């Protein structure tokens, strides 16, 4: 069994926690009114993606690492419609995620041993 790097553990837990907190927060916005607030549904899907990516990063799934990068990259793009400060903060988070998930120790953790095609 390969040992999970602390940096991957921290990022995965932060990602899953952000997804859980965001999901709970946005689900409180759903009310039984018409018309249905579809944007809440889409935001909830994005939060679920964060939870799934975080959980499966803890399990060493390489695809989850890529989903995490795509998730934070998506937030960089979305923040472009807000303030420059948000863009900078999300870009810094993107750089931190990329550094820790793709440096050698992270790549070794997410890498496949020879002949292991079950992932």
The model's pLDDT over 58-95, given as tens digits with 9 standing for 90+, comes to 999 999 999 999 999 999 999 989 999 999 999 999 99
Question: Which position has the higher pLDDT, 31 or 56?
Answer: 56
Question: So what's the pLDDT on residue 41?
Answer: 79
User: Is the separation of the CB atoms in 91 and 49 below 8 Å?
Assistant: no
DSSP state letter for 17:
H
Tokens of 39: 């944007």
With a cut of 90, say whether residue 117 has pLDDT above it: no
Percentage of the chain exceeding pLDDT 90: 58
Tokens of 44: 């909830």
Query: 97: buried, middle or exposed (CB in 10 Å: 19+, 13-18, 0-12)?
Result: buried
CA separation for the pair 52, 63 (Å, rounded): 11
CA separation for the pair 36, 27 (Å, rounded): 12
User: Is the separation of the CB atoms in 112 and 119 below 8 Å?
Assistant: yes
DSSP 33-68: -SS--HHHHHHHHHHHHHHHHHHHHHTT-HHHHHHH
Residue listed under structure tokens 């002949």:
115
Question: So what's the pLDDT on residue 57?
Answer: 95
Question: So what's the pLDDT on residue 27?
Answer: 77
pTM: 0.82
With a cut of 70, say whether residue 20 has pLDDT above it: yes
CA separation for the pair 55, 109 (Å, rounded): 15
């Amino acid at each position: 069994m390969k040992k999970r790097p602390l940096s991957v553990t921290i990022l995965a837990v932060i990602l899953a926690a952000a997804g859980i907190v965001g999901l709970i927060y946005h689900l409180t916005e759903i009310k039984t009114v018409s018309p249905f607030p579809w944007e809440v549904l889409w935001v909830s899907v994005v939060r679920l993606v964060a939870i799934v990516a975080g959980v499966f990063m803890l399990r060493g799934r390489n695809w989850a690492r890529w989903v995490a990068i795509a998730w934070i990259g998506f937030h960089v793009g979305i923040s472009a419609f807000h303030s420059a400060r948000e863009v900078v903060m999300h870009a810094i988070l993107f750089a931190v995620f990329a550094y820790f998930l793709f440096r050698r120790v992270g790549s070794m953790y997410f890498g496949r041993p020879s002949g292991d095609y079950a992932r």
